């Protein structure tokens, strides 16, 4: 089967037996051979009235526009709206708005709860700006852990990431080597320091380097080696989403999974096919239940 055929046939990337795939994933999770990769879609499991933060990029860009109205031609483009606020109102204003939006008490979704209780994975990736997963990890007493956050290169002193202990204190790359679980937040997060990759200028900087892996921390490169990625709450309809997933999972296993229900776009199907990602066509809630039973 050629790549072209895979790219035009979404069903060709879908596993035929979802239950069997979940059993395989659960076994690999128990063996600490899976890197969970969590996207904002996990918050879709919460009703809007119980989720005070945006549950996807579309909701976030609406919240930004409510604070500073961007021109009509860019109003639906998250990175462009963030850049407009940064340019017109200053970066500090953008960061203050994001802190206000994301510094909320958010209930843990079933996905977050599962990831916080599975046998300590060497690496967790979380690409949204919330602090739900690190709050759960702080409450767990069965592992040492810490987090690595991407930082805005134009706003930093030249570093691509910063390292944080569970108490929020900044620490070192050497300390991260000793953690049982590394929580990698490549887009930054609201806590402890309000680091954000979100504007056009942020991504221009990182996308010029990410293909040669410069912004990826050494401990992430080490812990992804040979492991499978499990994409939860992620869609791949935008180039930035695909680029980050591809580059973070580079030089890992050649076999991965993504829980994505319903119809795939051609771009998504092509991306999954090119990178050995097998789609499990079921809801995130169903997948979590299946994984919880097997882990």
Question: Which pLDDT tens digit goes with each residue over 199-220?
Answer: 999 999 999 999 999 999 999 9
Average pLDDT over residues 252-279: 96
215 domain residue, yes or no: yes
What is the residue range of 144's domain? 3-50+106-294
Q: Which of 67, 62, 40 is nearest to 51 (CA)?
A: 40
Q: Evaluate whether residue 115 is within a structural domain.
A: yes
Long-range pairs of 238-241 with CB within 8 A, sequence gap ≥ 24 = 238/57, 240/79, 240/203, 240/207, 241/39
31 is a domain residue: yes
Q: Do 191 and 131 meet the contact criterion of CB atoms below 8 Å apart?
A: yes
Q: How many domains does the chain have?
A: 1
In this prediction, residue 1 carries a pLDDT of 35
Q: How many CA atoms lie within 13 A of 166 on its CB side?
A: 15
Q: Is residue 256 part of a domain?
A: yes
CB count within 10 Å of CB 288 equals 23
Band of residue 197 on the pLDDT scale cut at 50, 70, 90: very high
Structure confidence at residue 194 as a pLDDT band (50, 70, 90): very high
Owner of token pair 């410069």: 214
Q: Is residue 181 part of a domain?
A: yes
* Nearest Cα residue to 160 out of 126, 197, 132: 197
The H or E element that residue 25 is part of is helix 18-30
Contact, 146 vs 164, CB < 8 A?
Answer: yes
CB 107 within 8 A of CB 284: no
Tell whether the model's pLDDT for residue 283 goes beyond 70: yes
Q: Is 180:145 a contact under the CB 8 Å cutoff?
A: yes
Q: State the pLDDT at residue 251.
A: 95
Does 8 score more than 60 pLDDT?
Answer: no
The answer to whether residue 81 sits within a structural domain is no
The pLDDT of residue 252 is 98
Looking at residue 9, which CATH number applies to its domain?
A: 3.40.50
**pLDDT value of residue 142:** 85
User: 161 with 151: CB under 8 angstroms?
Assistant: yes
CA distance 109 to 193: 23
Q: What's the sign of the alpha-carbon dihedral 247, 242, 188, 112?
A: negative
Q: How far apart are alpha carbons 228 and 159 in whole angstroms?
A: 28
Query: Residue 281: inside a domain, yes or no?
Result: yes
| pTM over 0.85, yes/no | yes
Q: Is residue 92 part of a domain?
A: no
């Amino acid at each position: 089967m050629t790549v072209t055929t895979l790219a035009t046939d979404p069903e060709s990337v879908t596993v035929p037996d979802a239950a069997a795939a979940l059993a395989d994933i659960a076994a690999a999770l128990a063996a600490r051979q899976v890197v969970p990769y969590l996207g904002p879609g996990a918050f879709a499991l919460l009703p809007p009235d119980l989720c005070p933060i945006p549950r996807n990029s579309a909701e976030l860009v609406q919240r930004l526009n409510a604070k500073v109205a961007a021109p009509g031609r860019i109003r639906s483009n998250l990175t462009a709206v963030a850049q407009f606020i940064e340019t017109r109102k200053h970066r500090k204003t953008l960061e203050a708005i994001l802190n206000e939006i994301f510094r909320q008490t958010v209930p843990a979704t079933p996905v977050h709860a599962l990831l916080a209780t599975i046998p300590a994975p060497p690496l967790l990736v979380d690409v949204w700006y919330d602090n739900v997963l690190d709050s759960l990890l702080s409450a767990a007493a069965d592992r040492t852990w810490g987090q690595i956050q991407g930082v805005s290169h134009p706003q930093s002193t030249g570093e691509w990431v910063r390292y944080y202990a569970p108490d929020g204190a900044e620490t070192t790359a050497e300390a991260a080597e000793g953690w049982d679980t590394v929580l990698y937040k490549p887009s930054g997060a609201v806590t402890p320091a309000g680091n954000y990759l979100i504007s056009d200028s942020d991504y221009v900087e990182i996308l010029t380097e990410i293909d040669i892996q410069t912004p990826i921390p050494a401990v992430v490169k080490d812990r992804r080696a040979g492991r499978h990625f499990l994409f939860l709450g992620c869609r791949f309809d935008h180039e930035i989403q695909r680029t980050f997933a591809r580059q973070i999972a580079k030089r890992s296993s050649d076999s991965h999974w993504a829980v994505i229900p319903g119809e795939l776009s051609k771009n998504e199907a092509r991306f999954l096919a090119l990178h050995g990602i097998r789609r499990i066509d079921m809801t995130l809630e169903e997948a979590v239940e299946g994984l919880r039973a097997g882990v």
